Structure 1
């Protein structure tokens, strides 16, 4: 492991890393992104991500700790307080971050480890925090895959990494268009249950023990007509208050855990 030190915000390496932090276009062009924190880096390694560089602020995280974190042969960069504070997305990162190579999340690459998958599909989620919360819900229920239709944010947005607490690296995730995903689900004989107000029945009346995709849309506009027209059944969570919608990750959690209950939480 080669270790060097950078203390200037004007260093070209730091300028590139700031671009990776702030700009989706740069992340997509370079195929690289930043990860902050011990837990997140550990989960990325567990998820099979390849790291290029580790940066550390020695007053918070020293070189011995860095070398214990990963056995990969990496470039190590010791950074100053000013550089660290500029690169850090949140204030409680333990003084360590990594540059990692992104993965391809195409529908063609999506595989399941079971013949009876349970899948969460989210159409066009707009807020990175909601995507992170959906991934945490999917992780808690140990679903077989998460598919994001017509994504509005790239998967390596720092806020998605932060709000998913790193499980973005360990879940089976695919991205695609609504039409592409519907074709995939039908080809795999996976039932499609759409959370929607139109032509819907109570969610707990349905059988989720067979191959199942639970599909949720945005709180503002719901699901597109293409989903509703191709659903096995539209489902609804009965609500007793004054409004007719709830946070998308909460709704997804209710539906997914009903499916898990029916399946005996296996």
Structure 2
């Protein structure tokens, strides 16, 4: 790994926002999930929550693998589980939902801990999620069409979130620190070794300041028992 690559990882992790997330409410198109995860990465979201469409539990497992390397995607079978996660973290819950109570998305304060709910393509945000929301927002539109694709709507709203947080200095104060930072940096730097550790349920090895694994030779014995890692380690 080059020094520039390691520096990019560290700079990206330094701006990750633990108090900002999205909740997809039964979004059922894989390409939209992929686009949403890419947008999360772009605005510094560390964890995204995906609620399965009815009858499709686990359907998006493996979706947008390139983006999921950089964003933790947490799967939920029911919206209540995702909502409870947001509430436990003290987040305001904001639904992208057209209603009489909805306000212009630009009027909210997104410097507060925030979970943005995005609904399914045909049905929108579910009644359960709407009821649980602190705010409902819409994107003002001037044309005949009165709704954006879910991934486009998310990008528009989240760029406003990013703008507000940048002005407030949120990205200048690292939120991802300690063990979670170290483990994430290791996963990004050595994804195959991290996967090996997950499968064996063992801790990650230590990593040096230049991104290399400390005492790599000690891993030979374990790696040689696993064909997938033979190409990783020197003979």
TM-score interval, smaller chain: 0.5 to 0.7
- 1:62-106 per-residue CA deviation (whole Å, 9 max, x = no partner) reads xxxxxxxxxxxxxxxxxxxxxxxxxxxxxxxxxxxxxxxxxxxxx
For residues 200 and 121 of structure 1, the distance between their equivalents in structure 2, rounded to whole angstroms, comes to: 18
Cα shift readout 1:148-177 (whole Å, capped 9, x = no counterpart)? 1134453334xx33xx6x012221111111
Judge conservation of contact 2:104–2:137 (CA < 8 Å) in 1.
yes
CA contact (8 A) 1:148 1:174 kept: yes
Instruction: Name the structure with the higher strand share.
Output: 1
- SS across alignment from 2:39: helix
Residue in 2 that maps onto 1:149: 51
1:172 aligned onto 2:72: yes
Match of 1:254, SS? helix
- Confirm or deny: 8 A CA contact 2:23 2:48 kept in the other structure: yes
Give, in angstroms, the shift of residue 196 of structure 1.
0.4
CA contact (8 A) 1:189 1:211 kept: yes
Q: Kindly state the Cα deviation for residue 115 of structure 1 after the two structures are TM-superposed.
A: 8.2
Aligned to 2:83: 182
Structure 1 residue 116: deviation in Å? 5.6
Q: What's the offset of the Cα at 1:122?
A: 0.9
Partners of 1:136 and 1:195 in 2: CA distance: 18
Query: What's the secondary structure of 2:28's corresponding residue?
Result: coil
Measure, in 2, the Cα distance between the counterparts of 1:185 and 1:114.
17
Give me the TM-score of the superposition, normalised by structure 2: 0.59
Query: Which structure would you say has the larger RCO, counting Cα contacts within 8 Å and 6 or more residues apart?
Result: 2
Aligned-pair Cα RMSD in Å: 2.1
Mapped contact 1:115–1:211 kept (Cα < 8 A): no
Query: What 5-or-longer segments of structure 2 have no aligned partner?
Result: 1-8, 10-14, 172-235
Q: Write 1 or 2 for the structure with the bigger share of helix.
A: 2
Count of matched residue positions in the alignment of Structure 1 and Structure 2 = 150
- Tell me, yes or no, if the aligned pair for 1:219 and 1:245 is still in contact at 8 Å: no
> Contact 2:17–2:44 (CA<8 Å) still a contact in 1?
no
TM-score (norm 1): 0.53
